[in-house]
Amino acid sequence: MDGGTALARIVTTGERSFEREISKLLLSDGEEFHGEGILAVTKALLQSGVSYVGGYPGAPMSHLIDVLADASEEILKPMGIHYEQSASEAGAAALLSASINYPIRGAVTWKSVVGTNVASDALSNLASTGVVGGSLIILGDDYGEGSSIMQERTYTFAMKSSIPLIDPRYNLAKMVELTERSFEISEVSQMPVFFNMRIRACHLTGKFTAKDNKVPTYNANTPYPEQIYDVNRIVLPPASYAHEKAKFEDRLPAAQEYARKHKVNELFPGKAGSRFGIITQGGTYTVMQRALRRLGSADAYGNTDVPVLCLNLVYPLIPDEIEEFLQDKDSILVIEEGNPNFIESQIAEIAQRKGIPVRIHGKDMLPMAGEYTSNIVREGVAKYLAAETQGEMKDTAIAAEAAIQNELAAAQSHISAPMPPRAPSFCTGCPERPIMAALKLLMKERGKFHISMDIGCNLFGSLPPFNVGNTVLGYGLSLASGGAVGPNLGQTRVAVMGDGGFWHNGFSTGVVNAKWNEYDSVLIILDNGYAAATGQHRLPSTGTTPKGTPSLVTIESALRGVGVDWIKYVDSYSLEESKKVIGDALDARDKGLRVIISNNECMLARQRRERPEKANALKEGRTVLKEKFGVDEEVCTGDHSCMRLNGCPSLTLKETSDPLKETPVAHVDEGCFACGHCGEVAHAAQLCPSFYKAEAVQNPGSIRRMMSGLNRSLLSMMGGY
């Protein structure tokens, strides 16, 4: 059976509608662009004359991928720009190989640090051979609030592969200018360039003056005339030794020279003769500025007495530039988000080598780890101003910070009880919820077992109310990560994986590995048709290509191709069936790898598709069901056992007026899509009979209407109405 995952599905749009946004990519010289940061950078790519773009979606970069996919027919194709949504970040990074031999510009994008991890193999090779065409890697840095990944720095990758790293000051015009400059840096240094954007920068709104889009000299419509062979561009000795030397003798120095000449880093000199100053990353510039303003040292426009060096190119540093800044200072503060404090250490090294007696503050005044938010940075800057400045500036900063702390303490003194935590969870009607309920129920029956989870929405199963899922090791790695768990716990390996994870890495690293190593294992694939967690992106098994044309790559054919025989489909919404099939799979320990494909479409996608269809049908007078679950308040026992197997946002609590009831009763709010899980749970766990499903037939046919009338009179006779 097929829950609607393949060709039957019509994919029209991604998570948001981009039509209005696409028109912004066509603005011409002198027109004003208004929009989000990530769209501005996309426009800058077109202004820079790229010949190809690609990437793998993931917040906060998803938007760029969506916009490009939507623009591929109308904008990219006429310009001869090749676009692909790569199957993984490694694939996206490998695209850049087109710029190794040929003078064509390209850009790829993904979420960092996780995507950069996946792309590392290609990146290391690319950074070794170097490029002739400008190559840009736009990184969506998911660090801090709202992040769904481990917290690490991308800086490490720049250092280890000698890839210049741009961390732009967050102002749309600046971001666009730096995007364009990055291609030039790439070409003069023959290195790919990282362009790092924090999550809030991607979603930042603003404006800039557009330029015309530039059709690249060589593109899919006017191809480069010949292939180029150059053995020195192959990463093999002795070329690889030469590459390593070239990085430090030619390439990075060229990047430094270009950046110095074009003032990529910005010096705000402050008051002449100041013997203190701040060096900040571009990305923390506005936060630092706000700190200075709050502490009485800057105005609303960023005019300040404090000398500031804003590093938009954070790797490599430019020693001369740093030396000049340090030269007349007694002390400086380095504002560097994340750890280790690479920038601060390098500055200290420069000062030490040049013999400049300057006190370098940084992580001694600001926290080692965590996002540099306004409060955090202001506290650090206040410490610095208090310790290293004199007179009015010092006194004002101390007084201002004390006043803020007093205001905070006064406010916090009113807090009595903590607010309830609100972790992310499955959406209303999500087809992945019933599987987690099935696993929870199975554990109640059979005892608890270890489950290896994957990246994606499925990971929410590890959170309340399900709490199933013990580990997560990376995208597509759940099955492989159970390798040594099963034998050492004396249990079958159990892994959950989304369809996104399956195609990203799960097939080769998980399935093939399990087959080859003869795993006793159960793999549950949640096939909802999209990489739902990134914002409903198409996958090889969605039924369409990234551009929306039909294609038919199925999970099952991939599995069969490597000899997996035990494959069972289960309707995600059938809890009893899911429980039974998983139970059967657990018991079939002599069958090697058993795969369960739980298949039903992502409810967000389905609603987005069905809502307009239904509205149309209703308008045209066709029969449409209006359905919803409900709870009979009088029957509800109020012990909330249904909630502990459900977690649906639309199944909630309601105050009851019944004096005999002490707890709030269950209630299904108007957000319900009637997915059926409430009824399934009531049956599977033998809960109270308070749930009902109501379906009204809108625009009924005449026979239906007549039968209904008859039914109604009978019900009236029995006291139903």
Partner 1 sequence: MSADRPICVLIGALGGQGGGVLADWLVEAAEHAGYPAQATSTPGVAQRTGATTYYYELFPEKNPPGDPVFTLFPATGDLDIMAALEPTEAGRAVERGFVTATTTVITGLERVYSTAEKMPAGDGRIETDPMMDMLENVSKDLIRLNVKELSDGTASRINAVMFGAIVGSGILPLTEDDGKAAIRQSGVAVESNLAGFDLGVQAAKSGGSAPLTQEGKVYQEAPADFADAINAYPGTVREIIGHGVAQLIDYQDAAYARLYLDRVSEVAAIDSDASHRLTFEAAKRIAKWMSFEDVVRVAQLKTRPGRLARIRGELGVGDDLPLKLTDYFKPGRDEFAGILPPALGWLVPNTKKLARGNGMALHIPTGSAFGFLLLKILAAMKPLRRKSAQYLEEQEALTAWMGAIKKAAAADYDLSCRTAELSILARGYGNVRREGLEKLAGLFANWENRLGSEIDKLSAEVDQLILLAQANPDAPQAH
Closest approach of Cβ 353 to partner 1, in Å? 34
- Does residue 457 belong to the site contacting partner 1 (CB under 8 A)? yes
Closest approach of Cβ 438 to partner 1, in Å? 15
CA atoms within 13 A on the CB side of 371: 15
Concatenating the DSSP letter of every residue in 582-612 gives: HHHHHH-GGGSEEEEEEE---HHHHHHHHHH
- Does residue 662 belong to the site contacting partner 1 (CB under 8 A)? yes
Site for partner 1 in 336-365 (CB under 8 A): none
Q: What is the rounded CA–CA span in Å between residue 684 and residue 4?
A: 25
- Does residue 412 belong to the site contacting partner 1 (CB under 8 A)? yes
- Does residue 296 belong to the site contacting partner 1 (CB under 8 A)? no
Kindly compute the dihedral angle of the four CA atoms of residues 651, 654, 660, 663, in this order, to the nearest 10 degrees. 70
Among 4, 103, 269, 679, binds partner 1 (CB under 8 A): 679
Q: How many residues bind partner 1 (CB under 8 A)?
A: 121
- Does residue 272 belong to the site contacting partner 1 (CB under 8 A)? no
Between the alpha carbon of residue 632 and those of residues 629, 654, 665, 693, the distances in Å are 10, 12, 9, 11
- Does residue 686 belong to the site contacting partner 1 (CB under 8 A)? yes
- Does residue 420 belong to the site contacting partner 1 (CB under 8 A)? yes
- Does residue 689 belong to the site contacting partner 1 (CB under 8 A)? yes
Among 72, 425, 528, 542, binds partner 1 (CB under 8 A): 425
Q: One symbol per residue from 190 to 209: x for binding partner 1 (CB under 8 A), - otherwise; what is it? A: --------xxxx-xxxx---
- Does residue 287 belong to the site contacting partner 1 (CB under 8 A)? yes
Q: One symbol per residue from 483 to 522: x for binding partner 1 (CB under 8 A), - otherwise; what is it? A: ----------------------------------------
- Does residue 230 belong to the site contacting partner 1 (CB under 8 A)? no
Site for partner 1 in 592-631 (CB under 8 A): 626-628, 630
Rounded to the nearest angstrom, the gap between the alpha carbon of residue 101 and the centroid of all alpha carbons in its chain is 32
- Does residue 225 belong to the site contacting partner 1 (CB under 8 A)? no
- Does residue 632 belong to the site contacting partner 1 (CB under 8 A)? yes
Q: Which distant-in-sequence residues (6+ apart) come within 8 Å of 143 by Cβ?
A: 151, 152, 153, 198, 199, 337, 338, 371
Site for partner 1 in 116-145 (CB under 8 A): 142, 144-145
Q: For residue 502, give the nearest of 88, 147, 7 by alpha carbon.
A: 88
In this structure, what DSSP letter does residue 284 have?
A: G
Closest approach of Cβ 317 to partner 1, in Å? 24
Look up residue 695 and give its two tokens: 């379906």
Q: What is the rounded CA–CA span in Å between residue 29 and residue 37?
A: 19
Reading phi first (left if > 0) and then psi (alpha if -120 to 50, else beta), residue 475 is in beta
In this structure, what DSSP letter does residue 458 have?
A: G
Q: With beta carbons less than 8 A apart as the criterion, state whether 56 and 115 touch.
A: yes
Look up residue 672 and give its two tokens: 């319900």
Q: With beta carbons less than 8 A apart as the criterion, state whether 552 and 7 touch.
A: yes
Q: With beta carbons less than 8 A apart as the criterion, state whether 479 and 595 touch.
A: no
Site for partner 1 in 365-404 (CB under 8 A): 373-375, 378, 403-404
Which contiguous run of DSSP H or E holds residue 514? helix 513-516
Among 269, 465, 548, 592, binds partner 1 (CB under 8 A): 465
Q: With beta carbons less than 8 A apart as the criterion, state whether 332 and 276 touch.
A: yes
- Does residue 655 belong to the site contacting partner 1 (CB under 8 A)? yes
Would you call 261 exposed, middle or buried from its count of C-beta atoms within 10 A (0-12, 13-18, 19+)? Answer: exposed
Among 501, 644, 675, 702, binds partner 1 (CB under 8 A): 644
Among 7, 150, 615, 694, binds partner 1 (CB under 8 A): 694
- Does residue 702 belong to the site contacting partner 1 (CB under 8 A)? no
Among 353, 560, 611, 683, binds partner 1 (CB under 8 A): 683
The residue written with tokens 């009113």 in the block is 414
Among 78, 340, 424, 563, binds partner 1 (CB under 8 A): 424
Closest approach of Cβ 595 to partner 1, in Å? 26
Look up residue 46 and give its two tokens: 């077109």
Q: Which stretch binds partner 1 (CB under 8 A): 208-216, 260-268, 334-342, 642-650?
A: 642-650
Could you give phi then psi for residue 690, rounded to 5 degrees?
-90, -15
Q: Which stretch binds partner 1 (CB under 8 A): 295-303, 380-388, 496-504, 593-601?
A: 295-303
- Amino acid code (one letter) for 249: E
Among 31, 392, 576, 613, binds partner 1 (CB under 8 A): 576
